Amino acid sequence: MAENTARAAQDWRDRVLNDPDMILEDRDLMRALIAANERQMGKNIVDLRGIAMERLEARLDRLEDTHRNVIAAAYENLAGTNQIHRCVLRLLEADTLPALLDLLVGDLSDIVRVDRVRLVLESADPTDAPHVAIVPVEPGFARSYVTQGREVPIRTVTLRQCAPASETIFGEAATWIRSEALLQLDLGDGTLSGMLVFGAEDPHQFRANQGTELLEFFAQVFEMVLRRHLAQAG
């Protein structure tokens, strides 16, 4: 038994002498060696090298976390860009207004991964909507809904959590919609305001601290496409 132990110790010693990087690259092993060295030095001696190493390890951990976060954000931005590009291509393929409206509640909601898509259109005489995607409302509804009665400027895109959501916009789904994206639409001179609304059950899908650049671009494209179809229908 003692012979086997001695042989194993010698084998370990030979491996370390041949490849010392094996220990240097193992953070847990280096930490154990430093701790053993500190115990030998006694409690009255401060090991500045050990303190410096601990600080370097903490800094390395923070750098690694930052690196992972940057990579994750880059992948998320790339995925978001691809989603919007796919949506824009599908918008351009819709050759009629009914096809565009079908797209909103079909492929578009799947691509953007939202649970509800609604096109809110203000009208001087709101009547029953000709399509499930359209929500006819009174003039001034869009601004009032976005600002919630506050005197604040309206941005092209507003992201926020909502509980409860608007039954006017989402109908029965308002009971479980927990976040929404509000895209303002300028439909041209002489027309009332419009708004494209994305609703999600996930309360964290749309939050006020998220970037809106991609959705702003999408809103501009949708606005132009909708203007063209409305002009053709008129």
CATH of the domain at 128: 3.30.450.40
57 vs 123: CA distance, rounded Å: 63
Mean pLDDT of all residues in 216-225: 93
Confidence of residue 57 (pLDDT cuts 50, 70, 90): confident
Token look-up 């006694």 returns 42
Say if residue 38 is in the same domain as residue 153.
no
With H, G, I as helix, E, B as strand and everything else as coil, classify residue 179. strand
Do residues 173 and 185 make contact, with C-beta atoms less than 8 angstroms apart? no
- In the listed set 14, 29, 45, which residue is the last one of a domain according to the structure? 45
Classify strands 194-200 and 157-161 as parallel, antiparallel or unpaired. Answer: unpaired
**Total number of domains in the chain:** 2
Q: Which residues pair with 116 in a beta bridge?
A: 199
Say if residue 197 is in the same domain as residue 136.
yes
Do residues 100 and 229 make contact, with C-beta atoms less than 8 angstroms apart? yes
Helices 97-105 and 48-93 sit at what angle, rounded to 10 degrees? 150
Tell me: the pLDDT tens digits for 93-126? 999 999 999 999 999 989 989 999 999 999 888 8
